[in-house]
């Protein structure tokens, strides 16, 4: 046929790129890049605990978000950007003794007798209206979690030279070997014990 | 003019496109690994709010997804513009959430049933009333571990 008989005829691979492009476009259309991170929260169980403990008013930090997405913190109007600092000041106050009767020796707050006694007693109560926008609610949640993380990071940095969020991410990572996890677990629990996350969410009010 | 004639003399060899398929395949594999299949078509507007104190969600088989938001424009004639809940591929009422969670939980492997997280993918413009109703339903079926799925970014973008 006029061809070189020694070499087999070459298959034309010119359309390979087209086929690959087709596949590529198919995958681009049918898949999404997952948003798989967010704020972890734990809901309270539906049956109320027996004998609820008596909590003094000064140990509660009240945050109210109204239907116009405005913030009322401890009876005062506040901007969102000031919330984290206010929550840190409240949690880190340490004016009295904790649940075990020990004063807070790691707190760096102002020890104001009008504010919280101890991080283990301090509770943040978040109330919202049914008309509050979800975005605002998440922003407030984010700032409050940020306040806890800031304090926990500070203590983790002081005790172990590593931030709490970094250690926690490493602990939750499935690729971390078990012996590293066993080493991290008591450290994390100690930090969590120093600043337990007590964030109560009341059911929304309807006016 | 001289240039044109010159070009004809020293004809440049055509650029070889033989490696083009390899490049495209590389792209293809990249997208195949970093993305995942859409499992349910969203019938609602789903712009998640931003947050920066986030934790990564558990593996996909340990998560139950609940979507909420305003119906997208093609469904607004039928369902109105008020935010609605979407479970799997259809709109649902608040009282269907509990059954859905129980059914999803039963369909998972036994050792995973206690470690399930419920991911709430809620549009940032939704009212908290609807979200609270969902939370209340979840408390009823004891699905207490929840995750407000967010995009990563400064939370102050939410209130602009």
| pLDDT tens-digit map of A18-32 | 888 888 888 888 777
Of B32, B16, B19, the closest CA to residue A17 belongs to B19
A169 touches chain B (CB under 8 A): yes
Interchain proximity B36–A31, CB inside 8 Å: yes
Interchain proximity A142–B125, CB inside 8 Å: no
The mean of the pLDDT values for chain A is: 83
Q: DSSP assignment, residue B81?
A: S
Structural tokens at position B126: 């939704």
Q: Tell me what pLDDT residue B2 has.
A: 54
pTM of the model as a whole = 0.78
CB atoms within 10 A of CB A146: 18
Beta strands in A98-138 (DSSP E): 123-128
The predicted model gives A171-180 an average pLDDT of: 83
Min Cα distance B7 → chain A (Å) is: 26
Total CB pairs under 8 A between chain A and B: 178
Angle at alpha carbon of residue B14, lines to B10 and B19, rounded to 5° = 150
Q: Tell me what pLDDT residue A35 has.
A: 65
Interchain proximity B131–A203, CB inside 8 Å: no
Q: Tell me what pLDDT residue A24 has.
A: 85
Q: What is the pLDDT of residues A101-145, one digit of tens each?
A: 778 888 888 888 888 888 888 888 888 888 888 888 899 989 999
Structural tokens at position A112: 């104001």
CB atoms within 10 A of CB B94: 16
Residue B37: list chain A partners with CB under 8 A. Answer: 30-31
Q: What is the strand order of the sheet B84-87 is part of?
A: B55-56, A37-42, B145-149, B117-122, B63-69, B84-87, B90-92
Residue A206: list chain B partners with CB under 8 A. Answer: 129
Interface test with chain A among B22, B36, B150, by most A beta carbons within 10 Å: B150
β-sheet bridge partners, residue A68: none
Picking from B20, B35, B53, the nearest residue to A31 by CB comes out as B35
CB contact at 8 A, B140 and A47: no
Nearest-10 crossing angle of helices A134-160, A83-91: 50
Of B34, B37, B100, B35, the closest CA to residue B67 belongs to B100
Residue A207 has pLDDT above 60, yes or no: no
Contact map slice: A 179-198 vs B, CB within 8 A: none
Min Cα distance B93 → chain A (Å) is: 17
The strand pair at B117-122 and B145-149 is best described as parallel
Residue A136: list chain B partners with CB under 8 A. Answer: 158-159
ipTM above 0.95 for this complex:
no
Per-residue pLDDT in tens (0 to 9) along chain B, 160 residues: 555 555 555 678 888 777 888 888 888 888 888 777 666 778 888 888 888 888 877 777 788 889 999 998 888 888 888 889 998 888 888 888 999 999 989 988 888 888 888 989 999 888 888 998 898 888 888 888 889 988 888 888 877 7
The predicted model gives A68-84 an average pLDDT of: 87
R_g of chain B, CA atoms, integer Å: 25
Q: Rounded to an integer, what distance in angstroms lies between the CA atom of residue B146 and that of residue B121?
A: 11
Q: Tell me what pLDDT residue B5 has.
A: 56
First to last CA, chain B: 61
What residues contact residue A15 under an 8 Å CB cut-off, 6+ apart? Answer: none
β-sheet bridge partners, residue B50: B151
Residue B54: list chain A partners with CB under 8 A. Answer: 37-39
């Amino acid at each position: 046929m006029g061809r070189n008989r020694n070499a087999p005829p070459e298959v034309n691979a010119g359309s390979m790129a087209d086929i690959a492009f087709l596949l590529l476009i198919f995958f681009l259309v049918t898949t999404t890049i997952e948003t798989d991170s967010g704020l972890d929260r734990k809901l309270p169980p539906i049956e109320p605990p027996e004998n609820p403990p008596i909590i003094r008013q000064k140990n509660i930090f009240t945050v109210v978000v109204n239907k116009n997405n405005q913030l009322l913190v401890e009876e005062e109007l506040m901007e969102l950007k000031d919330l984290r600092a206010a929550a840190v000041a409240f949690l880190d106050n340490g004016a009295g003794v904790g649940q075990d009767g020990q004063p807070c020796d790691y707190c760096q707050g102002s020890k104001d007798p009008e504010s919280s006694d101890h991080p283990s007693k301090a509770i943040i109560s978040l109330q919202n209206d049914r008309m509050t926008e979800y975005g605002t609610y998440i922003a407030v949640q984010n700032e409050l979690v940020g306040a806890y993380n800031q304090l926990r990071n500070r203590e983790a940095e002081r005790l172990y030279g590593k931030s709490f969020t970094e250690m926690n991410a490493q602990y939750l990572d499935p690729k971390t070997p078990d012996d590293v996890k066993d080493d991290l677990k008591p450290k994390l629990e100690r930090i969590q014990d120093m600043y337990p996350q007590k964030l109560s969410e009341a059911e929304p009010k309807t006016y | 003019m001289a240039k044109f004639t010159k070009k004809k003399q020293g004809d440049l060899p055509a650029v070889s496109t033989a490696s083009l398929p390899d490049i495209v395949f590389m792209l293809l594999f990249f997208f195949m690994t970093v993305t995942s299949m859409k499992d349910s078509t969203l019938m609602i507007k789903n712009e998640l709010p931003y947050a920066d104190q986030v934790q990564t969600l558990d593996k996909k088989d340990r998560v139950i997804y609940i979507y909420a938001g305003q119906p997208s424009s093609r469904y607004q004639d039928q369902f109105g513009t008020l935010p609605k809940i979407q479970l799997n591929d259809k709109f649902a009422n608040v009282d269907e959430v509990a059954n859905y969670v129980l059914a999803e939980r039963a369909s998972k492997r036994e050792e995973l049933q206690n470690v399930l997280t419920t991911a709430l993918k809620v549009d940032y413009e939704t009212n908290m009333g609807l979200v609270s109703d969902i939370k209340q339903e979840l408390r009823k079926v004891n699905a207490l571990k929840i995750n407000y799925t967010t995009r990563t970014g400064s939370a102050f973008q939410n209130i602009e």
